[in-house]
Amino acid sequence: MNKLYIVFLLLFFSLKHEEDLHGHWRMTRNQTFENILTSKNFQMNDQEQQIKLAETFSKIIDGYFYEFKKDTVIFTDFKDSEIIQLKGKWWVDKDTLYIGRFDKISVQKYLISKLEEDVLQLRIIMPSDGYVSKNIIEFKRNNNNNRR
């Protein structure tokens, strides 16, 4: 196959992902949280600790979002028991989403497991060793762009 054709296909699919990501996405599911909440270790905690952790996970899921614009992204993180809003630069290379923060030198990578019109599934790529998490973080597109 022609090398130029292959380069064109890779560029096309990268641009397609970038166009598909534009918009406001809210977290709806985090498999890591689900695994923790159903684990034996969690069940061994006292009820107060269980409730506190479940409330923290709920707060994170309710507050997390990504708003992808041209080349910038507004997104949230959880720090000191609070949801904070951040801003950064984003780009896609093949099936990998990169998000670089403006407030510090940091780039987080995610494998795009699924990207449809209203569903985005990401798997975090660990910065230390490049390990791709088996757990999916799922987002739904907020078509109204209304924030809670």
pLDDT at 17: 52
pLDDT at 16: 45
Distance CA 127, CA 72 (A): 21
Distance CA 19, CA 29 (A): 23
User: How do the pLDDT tens digits run along the chain, 148 residues long?
Assistant: 455 444 443 444 443 455 689 999 999 999 999 999 999 999 999 999 999 999 999 999 999 999 999 889 999 999 998 999 999 999 999 999 999 999 998 899 999 999 999 999 999 999 999 999 999 999 999 876 544 4
pLDDT at 19: 60
pLDDT at 136: 98
Q: Domain 3-141, what fold?
A: Lipocalin (2.40.128)
pLDDT at 13: 41
Q: Which of 23, 61, 50, 32 is nearest to 143 (CA)?
A: 23
Token pair 């923290």: residue: 56
Question: Per 3-state DSSP, what percentage of the chain is helix, strand, and coil (rounded to 5)?
Answer: 30, 40, 25
pLDDT at 143: 74
